[in-house]
Amino acid sequence: MRTQVVIIGAGPSGLMLGQALAGAGIDAVILEQRSADYVLSRVRAGVLEQGTTDLIERLGAGARMRREGLVHEGFTLAFDGRQHRIDLADLTGGKSVMVYGQTEVTRDLMDVRSGSGLATYYEATDVEVGDFETAPGNGSARVRFVHGGKQHEIACDVVAGCDGFHGACRAAVPASAITTYERAFPFGWLGFLVDAPPAAHELVYAGHERGFALLSMRSASRWRSYIQVPSEERAENWSLDRFLDEIRRRLPESIAAEVKAGPVIERTVAPLRSFVAEPMRFGRLFLAGDAAHIVPPTGAKGLNLAASDIHYLSGALIEWFKEGSRAGIDTYSQRALRRIWIAERFSWWMTTLLHRFPEDSRFVDRVKLAELDYVTASRAAQTMIAENYVGMPY
């Protein structure tokens, strides 16, 4: 079997890339280790930057997002018994974000790809990537995998590793050729997804002496909220009543009173980490999304960074296949990493400011409070937050 591009991973980044290449007439096959139902069962974040929604629209997968997505022009910082709204639209010249779940983005992209009759192999196991060391144009990379009980091999010009943190693509790169940077945080987020109207119409980020809390939503009738817990905590130890008691303690009273119970759809504990792998290109192998970087969810950047990677990578590959220019593929890693590190800094800053760390002293507590005081008093500081939150330009 031969194709121009093999995309490994059918999450949002792989599906976005596949659709972008198909629109330019470039043949691409997607391999996914899990079943389609499993991929859709993963409930993830859903705050989309304007650049992400624009990309989804260009790929022809934005119709349901336009109908059901919630446009947010601000969010609230809550601390020390106070509330302060960060007015995104005012601070950024009219920009906003959209709340629309990553699962729904994935579903829409799957539907568009399926409707186009493009090749996707779900439950493709034992994936091996080889012969990718030389630049595109110098022979073929090879991807081997098992599907339907049979061994398959695809020769291709390019491999796109969109297969996540634990995927085969980054693992195939020799350790001497890659540098990784990582920070594991000593806590996680316990999250509940509940079928009940959210307590506020915009997100609320709350710093509290008991730990961080985030009031969020997936739709006008379904809330998704989190509290900071020790990293070893287990979701099954928490009933909805216990969770509601705790999050209400950490939220301002006026908002806490509006947090409603309902049927629980999901409860999870997610670890928090920052991770970056450099570079993101190795001959004919290109990494994108979680295969190359992870951010703590505090800054709402995970899916958005995957989208910006695909913006750079799809443009670079289209330029190479259609025009023979190497300019895009040769600068892909540099361009993507510049934006990634800006988002890593913002997510780290938000996480550090709003969470309680085991080693925090009374002095650190007061410094964090002083910084929050400064942020709420300074338009310049709020503009920094707003610009990062809506997303830096591509």
pLDDT tens profile 334-350: 999 999 999 999 999 99
Grouping H, G, I as helix, E, B as strand and the rest as coil, residue 209 is coil
> Which pLDDT band, with edges at 50, 70 and 90, does 136 fall under?
confident
**What average pLDDT does the segment 154-159 reach?**
97
Q: What is the pLDDT averaged over residues 222-238?
A: 96
Q: What is the mean pLDDT of residues 29-52?
A: 90
The fraction of the chain above a pLDDT of 90, given in percent, is 95
Q: Active-site residue 311, yes or no? A: no
Q: Across residues 130-136, what is the average pLDDT?
A: 92
Whose tokens are 């693509």? That residue is 169
Q: Which of 100, 121, 205, 332 is catalytic?
A: 205
pLDDT band at 293 (very low <50, low <70, confident <90, very high): very high
Residue 137 has pLDDT above 90, yes or no: no
* Residues ≥6 apart with Cβ < 8 Å to 292: 161, 170, 276, 277, 280, 309, 336, 340
Residue 19 in contact with residue 86, Cβ under 8 Å?
Answer: no
| Residue 294 token pair | 């992870």
> pLDDT class for 44, splitting at 50, 70, 90?
confident
Q: CA-CA distance, 316 to 378, in Å (whole number)?
A: 40
Contact between 272 and 297 (Cβ < 8 Å): yes
> Which tens digit of pLDDT belongs to each residue from 94-116?
999 999 999 999 999 999 999 99
Question: If you average pLDDT over residues 123-146, what whole number do you get?
Answer: 93
The whole-number pLDDT of residue 344 equals 98
Burial 47-86 (b: 16+ CB within 10 A, else e): bbbbbbbebbeebebbeebeeebbebbbbbbbbeeebeeb
C-alpha to C-alpha distance for 205 and 233, rounded to whole angstroms = 21
pLDDT of residue 41: 82
Mark whether 297 is an active-site residue.
yes
Residue 121 is among the residues annotated as catalytic for this protein: no
Q: Hey, what are 203's tokens?
A: 């997100």
Q: What are the Cα distances from residue 329, in Å, to 80, 292, 302? A: 49, 16, 23
Sign (positive/negative) of CA torsion 170, 171, 177, 178?
Answer: positive
**Which tokens sit at 62?**
């934005």
Which pair of tokens denotes residue 183?
A: 């920070």
Average pLDDT, the chain: 96
What predicted TM-score, i.e. pTM, was given to this entire model?
0.95
- Lookup result for tokens 């999870």: 268
Q: For the chain, what percent of residues have pLDDT higher than 70?
A: 100
**Choice among 297, 312, 355, 368 that is catalytic:** 297
Per-domain residue ranges of the chain = 2-70+98-182+273-350, 185-272+358-390
> Looking at 293, 301, 311, 368, which residue is catalytic?
301
Query: Which two three-digit tokens encode residue 40?
Result: 């859709």
Confidence of residue 45 (pLDDT cuts 50, 70, 90): confident
DSSP one-letter code for 199: S
Identify the CATH number of the domain defined by range 2-70+98-182+273-350.
Answer: 3.50.50.60
pLDDT digits (tens, 9 = 90+) for 304-313: 999 999 999 9
- Which residue, chain included where needed, has tokens 């010249």? 93
Q: Give yes or no for a contact between 66 and 105, defined as CB atoms under 8 angstroms apart.
A: no
Nearest residue to 311 (alpha-carbon basis) of 49, 74, 93: 49
E strands, the chain, where? Answer: 2-8, 28-32, 47-48, 70-72, 74-79, 82-87, 97-99, 120-122, 125-130, 141-147, 150-161, 179-194, 204-206, 213-219, 222-230, 264-278, 281-282, 285-287, 293-294
Q: Does the annotation mark 301 as catalytic?
A: yes
Instruction: Provide the pLDDT for residue 169.
Output: 98
What residues contact 44, with CB distance under 8 A and at least 6 apart?
A: 101, 102, 103, 302, 303
Judge whether 394 counts as a catalytic residue: no
What is the residue-wise DSSP string for 341-378? HHHHHHHHHHHHHHSPPTT--HHHHHHHHHHHHHHHH-
> How far is 322 from 152, CA to CA, in rounded Å?
28
The sign of the CA dihedral 65, 67, 68, 74 is positive
* CA 268/CA 229 separation, integer angstroms: 11
Task: Point out the catalytic residue in the list 72, 208, 311, 368.
Answer: 72
Read off the pLDDT of each residue in 178-186 and give the average, rounded to a whole number.
Answer: 97
CATH fit for domain 185-272+358-390, picks 3.30.420.40, 3.40.50.2000, 3.40.30.10, 3.30.9.10 = 3.30.9.10
Q: Which string of b and e fits 196-208 if b means at least 16 CB within 10 Å?
A: bebbbebbbbbbb
Which residues, in sequence order, are CB contacts of 164 under 8 Å at separation 6+? Answer: 9, 11, 289, 290, 291
Look at residue 43 in the predicted model and tell me its pLDDT. 67
Asked whether the predicted pLDDT for residue 358 surpasses 90, the reply is: yes
